[in-house]
Structure formats: structure tokens, C-alpha cells
Amino acid sequence: MKRLKKSHEYMYKITHVGELLLAIVILIAIIISGVSLVLELTQFSFTHLDISAFTQFLANGLSLAVGIEFVKMLCKYTPETVVEILMFAIARQMIVEHLQLSQMFIGVCAIAVLCAVRKYLISVSKDSES
């Protein structure tokens, strides 16, 4: 029985290290993409701003924000980080994509539900733990 418990603990430690290594790799990719995004910003012609180029720039920037939240989630398992990454992903999709009104309404409702979960369920569980 002790052997089984020790093997479970060992497997948990290995998977945790694997997740941290994955987070490091993703963070390196985010840093490289962030530098590329800044370089792309220097090449913008602000006098003749092309909307499609700006939309692509915005999509890339928000994708980096979602990636950063994902790295936080891999490093720290909390309900707050899960809710935050879901909110960022939904908000990114709503801002970047040209959604229909019904899809936009569903996105707003999803963010409202996530805000309610964060405020009422997560804060209640934190208060009960204290």
C-alpha cells in the first residue's frame, strides 16, 4: 500500500515538472512573439492605417495575453486562473472576430457567468477555507 502511494506521489511530481517545463517553453515562445509584435508595431504606417493589419495586430497581442494567462494556469492551479484564462479567451474571440449579434450576446453572457462564478463561488470558497 505504501509503495502504491509513493508511486502516485512520484508520478504527480513528474507530471508537475513536465507542466513547468511546458510552461517555460510556452513562455519562451511568448517572449519571442512579443518581440516580433513590437517590431511589427514599428513598421505600422499610422497615417494610412489598414484596418485588417490592425485587426491582425490586435489578434496577435490578445493571443499573447491568453498565452500568458495559460502559463500562469500551468504554474499555479487555482480556480481564479482558470476563470481568468476563460475570460481572456472569450473576450479575445469577441474583439478580434467579427461575430454575429447572437454570438456576441452569448459571449457577453459567458463572461457575465464567469464574473459571477469568480465573485460568488470562488470568493465564498476562499472565505470558508480561511
Span 19-48, pLDDT tens digits: 999 999 999 999 999 999 999 888 777 777
Domain ranges of the chain: 2-124
pLDDT in tens, 84-100: 889 988 998 888 888 89
Residue with cell 495559460: 70
User: Structure pTM?
Assistant: 0.74
Q: How far is CA 75 from CA 46, 63, 116, 129, in A?
A: 38, 18, 24, 21
DSSP-assigned states of every residue in 43-57: T--STT--HHHHHHH
Sequence letter at residue 19: E
